[in-house]
Chain A
């Protein structure tokens, strides 16, 4: 692929990224949102974030297999992040100490 193909890819990717972000937001910001929909959406963030974490910890990127012990270093670091968040409630501390933890654990193991 040359640069023009890459440019075309970026334009198509931008469209693919734009549609799911824009249309639902446009739709719901102009209408009265039904109560049940709000109640449903209350559980969306926590469900989605858990799914994303599970994907990076337990699913292989090549082939989407379940690999519970493929990233033991990240698993230990994840527990550390949870404890730090619980104790400090600080986003910066959680992320930075999490990165330090995964780096150190990977070096040691």
Chain B
């Protein structure tokens, strides 16, 4: 719970507590808003690919992935067979295995039912928000994280539905709308770069992503580059830890002047304590 207002009444401060759902909604709001243009575009595209509004609503709920739905729409318009659409989609969605694993340490001790509910409504963007919250806010709970997922799912599927309904009346420039996702990811990258090492791993992953995607001719390249780049980061860090003991003494782990410098993360605190 955070405090939004301190009202000065009768000489004492009365602290008014904001309800939990509203606090989480405020955190999820930028995400929900950025989903609207993309969701509309996705609905329009799925309409053009031959989905009626019920099918569009269904796919936006059960698949809940911008990339996957854009892929379904574009493969349907070139009359690709169902099985090849599903296989391509599976490789595109493989990255969630990594996202799920990296979040799982914050979800220890949750019930089976919770894990199921959490994983079905997981996607890139709400993962990014939750990861950032879990890493920077000690009071952030799995329940609140699930709430972020549900808010984003709601705005995504409503935007898809509206897009599908207005689909026949509108044409839009998809390339521009698709940039909302890129901007969101760029934001996440900048916010996470805390030292030279993260910056180098990010650059390495970018180079590897080009190489692997050109090589595999598929989004499997995304998974490969993520695996290799993060593993190299892990190896280098382990090697330095072994040789020197304190990570913060090494030049690779020197702070980068960035937005995150002003904000302490839980990991930062741990490293200064130990």
B-contacting residues of A (Cβ < 8 Å)?
Answer: 1, 3, 5-14, 16-29, 33, 36-59, 61, 63-66, 71, 74, 77-78, 81-82, 85-87, 89-92, 94-96, 98-99, 102-103, 106
Q: Which 5 A-B pairs have the closest CB atoms?
A: A98-B183, A43-B230, A43-B233, A28-B104, A92-B30
Q: A58, A61, A92: which contacts B210 (Cβ < 8 A)?
A: A58
A24-B100, A55-B222, A92-B33 given; A47·B229 CB < 8 A: yes
**B68: Cβ under 8 A from any A Cβ:** yes
- In the bound complex, do residue B50 and residue A86 qualify as a contact, i.e. CB atoms below 8 Å apart? no
For B62, list chain A residues within 8 Å (CB).
10-11, 13-14, 17
Q: Do B201 and A47 touch across chains, with their CB atoms under 8 A apart?
A: yes
Determine if B101 and A41 form an interchain contact, defined as CB atoms under 8 angstroms apart.
yes
Note all chain A residues with C-beta closer than 8 A to B203: 50
- Are A17 and B89 CB-contacts (below 8 A) given A1-B76, A24-B104? yes
CB distance B101 to A94 under 8 Å?
no
B128 CB contact (under 8 Å) in A45, A94, A106:
A45
Looking at the complex, which one of B51, B96, B124, B205 makes contact with A20 (CB distance below 8 Å)? B96
Q: List 16 A-B contacts (CB under 8 A).
A: A7-B55, A12-B82, A13-B89, A14-B62, A17-B68, A44-B230, A48-B99, A49-B128, A52-B182, A57-B182, A64-B216, A81-B182, A85-B186, A85-B191, A91-B184, A92-B30
Most B CB within 10 A of own CB, among A16, A44, A66: A44
Main secondary structure of the interface of A (DSSP, over half): helix
Are B226's CB and A103's CB within 8 A? no
**Shortest distance from the beta carbon of B30 to any chain A beta carbon, whole Å:** 4
B-side contacts of A91, CB under 8 Å: 30-31, 34, 129, 184, 187
Q: Residue B115 at the A interface, CB < 8 A?
A: yes
> Which B residue's beta carbon lies closest to that of A18?
B120
- Chain B's interface size range is 35 or more
0/1 interface trace, chain B 96-129, chain A, CB 8 Å (1 if under): 1111111111011110100110111010100111
- Kindly identify which residue among B115, B181, B267 contacts A29, using a CB–CB cutoff of 8 Å: B115
Write the B73-84 contact mask toward A (1 if CB under 8 angstroms, else 0): 010100000100
Chain B nearest CB from A72 CB (Å) reads 12
Given A16-B90, A46-B193, residue A54 in contact with residue B234 (CB < 8 A): no
Which of chain A's residues have a CB closer than 8 A to the CB of B34?
Answer: 91-92, 95-96
Write the nearest CB–CB distance from A29 to chain B, whole angstroms: 5
* Contacts A16-B93, A45-B102, A46-B189 given; does A21 touch B31 at CB 8 Å: no
Given contacts A14-B63, A46-B202, A78-B186, A21 and B213 within 8 Å (CB-CB): no
